[in-house]
Amino acid sequence: MSVPMRTERDPVALATALEAAEARLLSIMQTVPDAMIIIDESGRIESLSTTAERLFGYSLDEIAGKNIKQLMPAPHREQHDSYLKRYLTTGERRIIGIGRVVVGQRRDGTTFPMHLTIGELRSGNKHYFTGFIRDLTDQQVTESRLNELQSEVTHMSRFTALGEMASTLAHEINQPLTAIANYLKGCQRLLERIDGEPALVLRDAVSKAADQALRAGHIIRRLREFVARGESERRVESLPKLIEDASTLALIGAKENGIAVSFRMDPSAALVLADRIQIQQVLVNLIRNAIDIMTESSGRRELEIGTMTNADETVEVSVSDTGAGLAPEVAAHLFQPFVTTKRKGMGLGLSICRTIVEAHGGKIWVDAKPSGGTIFRFTLRTAREEMDLAE
Ligand code: ADP
């Protein structure tokens, strides 16, 4: 805007120029997509953008001339005047030009997180401050949901990994226990044929050892039953939502590793009967494995997550990668525990996936892609809205 010198001497032209400047400011405040608030040096609101009106729930007419502290919750509300005074006397910048996450308060008293950047403007010997506000509500909701999900799934996977280990151990320990019990029975039979004090003591000791072997077997059986029962809670769930949540979690860092992700969702594969956390755990395991294998090689890095409805009231979920494919030494035992090619791997992920999918009445398998890479697939039972809390 150029203001000719003569306007200083010409009050009419000056007023016109001022009016034009004001109209321009008004039009900016009405159209700018950001929430913007202009205050003077005493904290009085001069102007606010339409987006700010919507965000805080006040109209410009109601709030103009009021102190900006009205848009803040305690303790800033009480202290804002002194913040301003301190800045004007010391020039010490705590937020101006820096930007910070603070809390705003709407007209109805509710508060929300916002990112505030403040710009300073001097006109003559007056100060004005312009606040640019970004509402962080959605971002924080997403972040906290993600954290929640992550801790649920991590907790669950530790629990399941423990269960899987217990089950494998139970199976492995049961065999030697049975052998011990059989040997002891043999000893008992032999000892019955021998007379004398030492034989009696021995018979007693062997019988006690046999009891203990039985007891150990019993404990192991109880453990297996507990693991087999699991804590599964199946409900009618939206499959696309399940996949969206699990992928958000599993795909953290994927983009940075150059992995292109695509979704091929069958719109008719909508509702499934599932324990949400457990199925998310399956998806997270499969997606993380796919990312791991692709980041190991320099080839194409394409991950595709898909769904498909089958004729038999099941849906098929697939996770396909363009990695190096299955190592021959693990291919035959892939879904068994402790099978891994990773230095830090436990080899429990896929066996947990199998346990979970089979507990849901589904199947899990893997196919090699002719073009390289693998596709893991699993099935789930489809559900209808009214089936809630089935089985
Ligand atoms: P872990 O990840 O701890 O090794 P898993 O049971 O999840 O345990 O995986 C077992 C093994 O299966 C891996 O070590 C890897 O060799 C192989 N594997 C899993 N997913 C893939 C995949 N998408 N492509 C190639 N190999 C895979």
Q: Is 95 in the pocket of ligand 1 (CB under 6 A)?
A: no
Between residues 186 and 122, which one has the greater pLDDT?
186
Q: Alpha-carbon dihedral of residues 339, 342, 345, 347, nearest 10 degrees?
A: -10
pLDDT band of 391, cuts 50, 70, 90: very low
> Is the same domain home to 248 and 342?
yes
Domain count, the chain: 3
Question: For a pLDDT cut of 90, what percent of the chain falls above it?
Answer: 40
> Is the same domain home to 251 and 378?
yes
Distance between first and last Cα of the chain? 73
Q: Work out whether strand 260-264 and strand 302-309 pair parallel, antiparallel, or are unpaired.
A: parallel
Inside any domain, residue 225: yes
Q: Of 338, 337, 341, 339, which is closest to residue 296 (Cα–Cα)? A: 341
> Is the same domain home to 224 and 273?
no
pLDDT reading at 4 higher than 60: no
Inside any domain, residue 2: no
Q: Ligand 1 pocket check: which of 350, 356, 367 to mutate, most ligand atoms within 8 Å of Cβ?
A: 350
Inside any domain, residue 4: no
pLDDT at 202: 92
Q: Amino acid identity of 96?
A: I
pLDDT band of 102, cuts 50, 70, 90: confident
> Is the same domain home to 49 and 158?
no
pLDDT reading at 263 higher than 70: yes
> Is the same domain home to 131 and 69?
yes
pLDDT at 343: 82
Last residue of a domain, one of 135, 165, 195: 135
48: containing domain: 11-135
Interval between CA 256 and ligand 1 midpoint (Å): 21
pLDDT reading at 25 higher than 60: yes
> Is the same domain home to 202 and 58?
no
pLDDT at 2: 46
CATH of the domain at 197: 1.10.287.130
- Once rounded to an integer, what is the mean pLDDT over residues 87-103? 81
> Is the same domain home to 117 and 199?
no
> Is the same domain home to 121 and 146?
no
Interval between CA 242 and ligand 1 midpoint (Å): 22
Inside any domain, residue 202: yes
Last residue of a domain, one of 161, 196, 229: 229
How far apart CA 249 and CA 247 sit, in angstroms, is: 5
- pTM tops 0.75: no
pLDDT at 283: 94
Q: Ligand 1 pocket check: which of 338, 340, 367, 371 to mutate, most ligand atoms within 8 Å of Cβ?
A: 340
Q: Is 265 in the pocket of ligand 1 (CB under 6 A)?
A: no
Q: Of 75, 120, 72, 73, which is closest to residue 94 (Cα–Cα)? A: 120
Inside any domain, residue 3: no
- Least confident range from 38-42, 142-146, 284-288, 328-332: namely 142-146
Task: Tell me the pLDDT tens digit for each residue of 305-330.
Answer: 999 999 999 999 999 999 999 999 99
Pull the structure tokens for residue 357.
């999918």
- Once rounded to an integer, what is the mean pLDDT over residues 76-92? 84
pLDDT at 113: 82
How far apart CA 131 and CA 125 sit, in angstroms, is: 20
Q: Is 346 in the pocket of ligand 1 (CB under 6 A)?
A: yes
pLDDT at 17: 80
Q: Which atom number of ligand 1 is nearest to the Cα of residue 347?
A: 8
- Residue 264, beta-bridge partner list: 306
CATH of the domain at 111: 3.30.450.20
Q: Which atom number of ligand 1 is nearest to the Cα of residue 325?
A: 25
Inside any domain, residue 317: yes
> Is the same domain home to 336 and 242?
yes
pLDDT reading at 5 higher than 60: no
Interval between CA 294 and ligand 1 midpoint (Å): 12
